[in-house]
A and B are shown apart, each in its own frame.
Chain A
Amino acid sequence: MARRRSPGAPASLADGGGIERLYRAHRLGMVRLALLLVDDRETAEDVVQEAYAAVHRRWDSIATEEAALPYLRRSVVNGARSVLRRRRTVRRYPQPDESSLTSDPPDQRVLLTEEYREVLAALWQLSTRQREVLVLRYWSELTESEIAATLGISIGAVKSMAARGRDALAIALGGAS
C-alpha cells in the first residue's frame, strides 16, 4: 500500500528522490562550507561527496530532509576536520593562507582583495574549532544552538570560542576589540 504524506508533513528521505533533492539544493553550499574549512576546492568536493554518502548510508535512520541537512552539515565539518588533522600529521601542515595548498586557479586568488585575504589569513591563525565556529556563524549564518549541535559542543563553548576568535581577529587585523 502506498504511503501518503499528510500535507503538512516534512518531506521524507524515503519517499523517493529525497537524497537527490538534498544534493541539488545543498551541494554547492556544502562545497563552499567545506572550502572555507579546508581551503582547497577539490578536497572540499571530496569531503562533501563523502558527507552525502554518509547521509545515504544513514538513509533509514534519518527521517526527513529537515533532519538530513544538519546531519549533512555535521558530516562536512567532521570530514573537513579530518582532512586538516591528516594534513597536520602527515606533513606538518603549514597555514594555508599561502597559495601552496590550494588547487584554485591563481587568478581566483588574485580576485580576492587584499582586505579579504588579510581576514582569511587571520582566520587561519585561529584554532580549528574557533574557525569552525566563525565559519558556521558568519558564512552559514547558524544560530549558536545550531552551531553547538553541529560541532557537538555546548552553547557556552560556542559563545566563548566565537568571542575569542573575534577578539583574536580584531587584534590580528590591527584594531583593539
Chain B
Amino acid sequence: MTGFDVEERIRSALRARAQQVTEADLSPAPAPGPDETHRLPPGPRWTGRWLPPLLAAAAVIAVIAGTVAVISVVRSDHARPAHSPTAPAPTTPPPAPTPTPTASPSGPAAPTSPTSAANPSSATSPPATQPVEPGGFQLGYQPLWPFATLVQAQEWQVSHRSGGHQPWHLDAGQTALSFTNGYLGFSELNTVTTQRTDASGAHIGVGYHDPNGVAHTAAVLHLVRFGTDTDSPWEVVASDDTTFTLGTPAYGSVVASPVTVGGHITGVDENIRVAVRQLSTSTPIGAYCCLPAGTGPWHASVAFQGATDPTLTIVASTGGHLQQVERFAIQGVRTR
C-alpha cells in the first residue's frame, strides 16, 4: 500500500463519518449571545470537577518538563556551534559528505563522506530500510542528510572521538549550510540567518545577503541529534515551512513515480522547480521545471527513477530576482 493509498483511505473514511451529520441533524441552538455566559459556566462543564486532579497532573508534568528542559539546555550548551547566530557562517562551507552535487562545479570542494572516512567498506552498503535503529533508538523523523542510519552516525562518532574528524557534524548551523549548498547544490545560500534550539531540535535559517547586506532566509531547516549521546551528530530531517510550503506528499509517506508534489506559496512570481534526491546518488533522480508561481496552492507531477534508498528528499525551490534560489522547502518521503 502506498502512502497515497493510506492518505486517501483516511480522507475518505473521515469524510464519510463526518457527513453522517447534516445541518438537519443538529439540535436547534442559538449562537452564543449576551446571555451565554450566564447560561454556560465560564469553562467546560467538567473542568470544575476535574480541576484539582488536573492541576496536580499539571504540576507533575511541569516538574518533568523542567527536568527535560534542563537536560536539553545542558546538551545544547555542550554542543553549541562555534559561530553565534549573529556571526555569519564560514564563507567556505565545510565539506559536505557525499554525494557532491555535480550541478555546481564551482561550489564547495568535493567532500569526503563521513561514512567512508570512518569505514570505507560501508560506503556502498545499502542504507537501512527502516528509520528504526538498533538499541531502541528511534529518530522519529526521516533521516535526510548526512547520515542514512544510526550506524553511520555512530561510525562518524567513533572517528571523531579518536581523530577529531569532521567536527562540523556537531554544529547544526554548519550542517544545515552543508546540506543546502553541498547536497542540494544551492551554492549561493551560504549564510546562517537564524538559529534556534528547542526540545524538538535545532531550527536553522539558511539564506543569503542581498547587495545591501541585508540577510534573507531561504528556508528554516529542522535538525535533530542522530543518537542520544552528547556528541551525536546533527541530522537534517525537515524544513519549517511558512510562506512557501511543500506539504504534498505528506511527510514520511511512501511514494512512487510519478509523485504529485504541492503546497502553498505567497508573494512570489518566479517559477517553482522541484527535484527529488537520495543520499546515495550525487544528482537528482527526478526533476521538474518550471511551474509558474503566484500566491496560492501549487502542484506539479514529478517523475523519478533509480530510487534505491529508503528515504528521498523532495526539494521545491523558487527564485530569480536576487538569487537563483531565494526560497526553498523540503519534504522527507520514503520509497518503502
With A and B bound together, what is the CA distance between A14 and B89 in angstroms?
48
CB contacts (< 8 Å) of B44 on chain A: these are: 50, 79, 82
Contact of A166 with B252 in the complex, beta carbons under 8 Å: yes
Interface residues of A (CB under 8 A from B): 19-20, 22-24, 27-28, 31-33, 35-36, 41-42, 44-45, 49-50, 52-53, 55-57, 79, 82-83, 85-86, 89, 104, 108, 111-113, 115-117, 119-120, 123, 134-135, 137-139, 143-145, 154-157, 159-160, 162-164, 166-167, 169-170, 173-177
B162 at the interface (CB under 8 A from A): no
Q: Which residue of A lies closest to B37 (CB)?
A: A57
Given A28-B26, A36-B14, list of 15 further CB < 8 A pairs? A19-B33, A32-B19, A35-B17, A52-B31, A89-B50, A112-B20, A119-B12, A120-B14, A143-B264, A144-B251, A145-B245, A156-B238, A162-B252, A166-B7, A175-B6
A36-B14, A163-B252 known; A49-B1 Cβ under 8 A: no
CB contacts (< 8 Å) of A36 on chain B: these are: 14, 17-18
23 contacts between A and B (CB under 8 A): A20-B31, A28-B23, A32-B18, A32-B19, A35-B20, A49-B29, A50-B40, A50-B45, A56-B37, A82-B44, A82-B47, A112-B17, A116-B13, A123-B13, A143-B245, A159-B251, A160-B252, A162-B252, A163-B252, A164-B140, A169-B10, A170-B3, A177-B1
B300 at the interface (CB under 8 A from A): no
CB of B241, distance to nearest CB on chain A (Å): 7
Contact of A86 with B46 in the complex, beta carbons under 8 Å: yes
Q: Which residue of A lies closest to B22 (CB)?
A: A28
CB contacts (< 8 Å) of B50 on chain A: these are: 85-86, 89
B321 at the interface (CB under 8 A from A): no
**Chain A interface main SS type:** helix
B198 at the interface (CB under 8 A from A): yes
Contact of A169 with B32 in the complex, beta carbons under 8 Å: no
Contact of A123 with B10 in the complex, beta carbons under 8 Å: yes
User: Which 5 residue pairs are nearest across A and B when measured between Cβ atoms?
Assistant: A163-B252, A175-B1, A23-B31, A119-B13, A32-B18
Contact of B16 with A144 in the complex, beta carbons under 8 Å: no
Contact of B46 with A82 in the complex, beta carbons under 8 Å: yes
CB contacts (< 8 Å) of B254 on chain A: these are: 170, 177
